[in-house]
Structure 1
């Protein structure tokens, strides 16, 4: 990652480093010229090392043809905007949908459709292994994460923002600012639903959402009305938790808001990888 970023910023002053890191981890979309330059940097670095791994794709066929690396790129199924955002991060085996998941979901509880129970058990075992290997469960609250949750709450003006880790049977709060956000059994956790897909889950008004209005956190307890969460991944791509926003009042959440939340999630991931 460091060599890619160093080479990229030697060639251009465009883009923010966190945005570029977020793009490389599948969290943020960049303009086509920046994507193509990053792809060229990655492919040249791979070429210089003689690596046989798949190269980085360009934004369109014209850029691919002029890159000099078109013969080394596997065929890619593109989304309607001409870019593949459906593919999970590298190493992520926690989803089985191929090219159908949108970037944003508005209340979905789908699991691992099409995978037998043995496959699901193996996937969850590896996810939990990645979570425990991260060391995050043993270190308690950390200012580096609290700083981001404070920023998230202030940016969106919600009552609470938190970072939650999803264990085998529980939601463990790594960082929280505000009254909403606590350790919970996994079956009560909204964030446990969020990690099932590599996309942002937004619930504008849980009280009127058929899927969520009877949930214990909505119908009783803290009476959550608004929720927005984005998965957090290990460097290997395993979804181990979320950065989420919650409020006791309904809220609208624009596409720009989604992108801002994804950028903040990218900051959390950088901290996790460090």
Structure 2
């Protein structure tokens, strides 16, 4: 298993994530609606809004799984935040970065993964909007575009959440 590198702007990224004031908050219908929609439209068993903290990835919303967080070191999303584009893993067992990852060989048995970074100001990626399946898959260009469009919606909701918490403190 290959752990993701640490982004060059990690301290700034973590500060921005903390400033969102969203980690460990209760579920929120606007985010739950997005993961439900993503599962339905892409016919995926799992969709998540994942925020990559210093030592963990925490799910603000996850549909199709009981996970609430995972260690950052085994997180697919920790790899995704290093990119400016969608990361697609058609078959994790065939990808040397993930073939022996505990999330692949043990439950939830991820075989397919697609995630797009949640881009905030100054090109800071605080997390991802992602989907995964227990079987290998491909995604059409339209499906990738849908995931990317929804990731912009999630990023905008996160910005609004931060502003709301700033003005209500």
TM-score (norm 1): 0.54
Verify: 1:189 aligned to 2:79, yes or no: no
Q: CA deviation at 1:180?
A: 6.6
Contact 2:14 2:54 in 1 (8 A): yes
Q: Which moves more between the two structures, 254-263 or 179-188?
A: 179-188
Contact 2:32 2:61 in 1 (8 A): yes
Q: CA deviation at 1:234?
A: 2.1
> In 1, distance between residues paired with 2:123 and 2:140?
26
> In 1, distance between residues paired with 2:24 and 2:103?
27
Q: Does the residue aligned with 2:88 lie in a helix, a strand or coil?
A: strand
Largest Rg, 1 or 2: 1
- 1:179 equivalent in structure 2: 65
The count of corresponding residues between Structure 1 and Structure 2 is 159
Q: Which moves more between the two structures, 130-139 or 150-159?
A: 130-139
Q: 5+ unaligned residues in a row in structure 2: which ranges? A: 161-169
- 2:102 equivalent in structure 1: 216
Contact 2:32 2:62 in 1 (8 A): yes
Q: Deviations over 1:185-231 (max 9, x none)?
A: 11011111110111110011112223321111112221111100000
Query: Displaced runs of 4+ in structure 1, greater than 4 A?
Result: none
> In 1, distance between residues paired with 2:93 and 2:102?
11
The one of 151, 156, 163 aligned to 1:270: 156
- 2:163 equivalent in structure 1: none
Contact 1:161 1:245 in 2 (8 A): yes
Query: After superposition, where does 1:118-137 map in structure 2 within 5 Å?
Result: 120=8, 123-137=9-23
Query: After superposition, where does 1:115-264 map in structure 2 within 5 Å?
Result: 120=8, 123-179=9-65, 181-264=67-150
Contact 2:48 2:59 in 1 (8 A): yes
Report the RMSD for the aligned CA atoms in angstroms. Answer: 2.0
Q: Does the residue aligned with 2:116 lie in a helix, a strand or coil?
A: strand
TM-score (norm 2): 0.86
Q: 5+ unaligned residues in a row in structure 1: which ranges? A: 1-107, 114-119
Q: Say which structure is richer in strand.
A: 2
Q: Which protein, 1 or 2, shows the higher relative CO under an 8 Å CA cutoff with sep ≥ 6?
A: 2
Q: CA deviation at 1:137?
A: 1.0
Shift in CA distance, 242/155, structure 1 to aligned 2, threshold 3 Å: same
